[in-house]
Amino acid sequence: MQNSNTSRASAENSGTEDGKNPEKGKNSFMKELLSWVEIFAVAIVLALLLNNFVIVNATVPSGSMENTIQIGNRLLGFRFSYWFSDPQRGDIVVFKYPVDKALGKNTNYIKRIIGLPGETVEIRNGKIYIDGSETPLEETYLKEEWTVRNDGYTFEIPEDSYLMLGDNRNNSSDSRYWAEKALQYGAADTVEEAMTFSYVPRDLILGKAYFRYWPLNKISSLY
């Protein structure tokens, strides 16, 4: 009887290693693999949702916003900043460059809002004047004395659009230049049409930039 039981036990364990069921081990591995796939899938979906609906990440490739923002700085902004309020003068915003947008390209710019919807903005001798005011706009954020393209501009901003300038006025491709660019690259056929590209419609504004998070030793608010 003892030999018979031993034979039966051996038969039951036939095809296994140390009494383990290989099929059970395979199923366990597949379950663990699927759980990791699910975790990565959820993480990717959350990242896409955050990036497309909540936050704006921007890397600055030029010195147009110096000294507020340096070349290579990485910024974090929020898309929901203007869900319940309007953009304000002085806000630093990430937006779609209007000329490239018209040409089917997808280029993000970062500038400071200077003119608001419906305003008339004049640039005279390196100063900004709003709606005929005799007192120029106070701009403590400028990198240096403004000497390039600093005179002879009058912008009549359409409703629901904004005038954008860089803090480094001597080296910034901003609203002063975009009408020329629109004509140069074929986004507009007439001067009148080209002038509309001097402004950023609200629906092209992605969000307000708040923080610099790179480089790590320069983490700070932008305001």
Q: Which residues are catalytic?
A: 64, 111
The sign of the CA dihedral 48, 92, 177, 64 is negative
Report the C-alpha gap between 163 and 174 in whole angstroms: 9
Tell how far CA 27 is from the center of its chain.
44
What is the CB neighbour count within 10 angstroms for residue 163?
A: 26
Three-point CA angle 45, 50, 54, nearest 5°: 150
Phi and psi dihedrals of 70, rounded to 5? Answer: -100, 160
